[in-house]
Copies of this chain bind each other. A is one copy, B any other.
Amino acid sequence: MTSPLSGQAPDDPAPRPLGVAMIGYAFMGKAHSAAWRTVGSHFDVPATARRVIVGRNAGQTAEAAARYGWEDSSTDWREAIHREDVDIVDICTPGYLHAEIAIEALKAGKHVLVEKPLANTIAESTAMVAAAAEARDHGVQSMVGFNYRRVPALAHARQLIADGRLGAVRQLRIAYLQDWLVDAASPMTWRLRRETAGSGALGDIASHALDQAQFLTGRNVTEVSGRLRTFVEERPGPDGPEPVTVDDAAWITAELAGGAVATVEVSRMATGVKNGLRIEVFGERGALRFDLENLNELWLMEATGPVTEQGFRRILVTEPGHPYLDAWWPQGHIIGWEHTFTHQLRDFLTSIRTGRPAQPSFEAGLQIQRVLAAVEESAAAKSAVVQVDSTTPTHSSVPAKETA
């Protein structure tokens, strides 16, 4: 049997590359493909081979394989994950398929990377956590793809907070604003139906925002008050007007363990804002600011020295000493959004090599699902505060310099 830790049989003279099967070839499949193609040229990670890409439509999948450089294509995810030359399964399907594929892959001893959200339901998520925990005992890694943890500026921010540079954090303000649904005439899609998408902006982008709240502070959300809104209640479907059954926007006021308060506001109708994940963190001795549309910048304020010289400073996060940056270009030569996926693979492959558990774990993914569920419960109860089920162990302690 192939050892998932090394990607090679114990006695092989030369290491065999880790074989990858990717399920899904749409937006996320394209982004993940770019990362698989790139990671080995820029980071010191185990060699990988893009064995097979899986999709429903044979022709389109074959075309994606050719375009993105996969050796083979398939319409049978089950067969693909059981291939002997496959060591890693990368799941980029819609959320409702995550659980079945991930659990089968883990049972087959394959490392699993699954796109966020972990799954569409708490039940599925819980089953995935159980499978991941069991597999972990056998050296099999699993990870959920909250790729914004791999934005260098945010990884740097997390480290600064962990180092105490802001003092105790009191307030976080997080907004994730997009505008692709502003036009009331834009058509119905599966993303706007509850049965396929689970939720709207809440699951899609508030999940990122909440993960950042927890990632940056190392603290879990303990209670929430929430409000949801569907501004355009009906959109043109293939057979005429169809009701939109998910939220267009969500507002969350959350309390974190330790007492900080975070606000999260997400919308797909924030006219003029394209992809604005904006984060502000206020601590006793300093503050931080970030915007995904300028993801190479981190703004740091320290309440030290004469007050006449204090202010937020723009750190251009492109120095070799910044997280992940030594792999890229000289200072000032910025990276793009897709690099976060390459960094994610770097960390995932490093976990596979070292055996240290990958982060964010399925447990972390489940914790986010629980927060989202609490938000929906609060929204249904006139925004009254709801406690987040806290049976999950806390998110994770902040490690020292994990990404440096």
Contacts and interface: CB of A to CB of B under 8 A. Distances in A.
Number of this chain's copies in the assembly equals: 4
A103 to B, nearest CB: 30
Given A231-B170, A267-B171, A269-B171, A274 B329 contact: no
Q: Specify which of A306, A310, A328 lies most central, judged by the most chain B CB atoms within 10 Å of its CB.
A: A310
A343 B54 CA distance: 29
A257 interface: no
Given A38-B37, A263-B263, A329-B338, A316 B270 contact: no
A334 interface: yes
A300 B314 CA distance: 10
Contacts of A275: 318, 330-334
Kindly list the 8 A-B residue pairs having the minimum CB-CB distance in the complex, ordered from nearest.
A275-B332, A274-B332, A313-B313, A336-B336, A272-B301, A311-B313, A225-B383, A384-B384
Interface of A: 27, 31, 33-34, 37-38, 40-41, 67-69, 156, 160, 166, 170-171, 173, 175, 178, 180, 182, 184, 225, 227, 229, 231, 249, 251, 253, 259, 261, 263, 265, 267, 269-276, 280, 282-287, 292-296, 299-301, 303, 306-319, 321-322, 328-339, 381-385
Given A38-B38, A225-B382, A271-B283, 12 more contacts: A27-B330, A34-B38, A160-B309, A225-B225, A271-B286, A271-B287, A274-B318, A275-B318, A308-B315, A308-B321, A309-B315, A382-B385
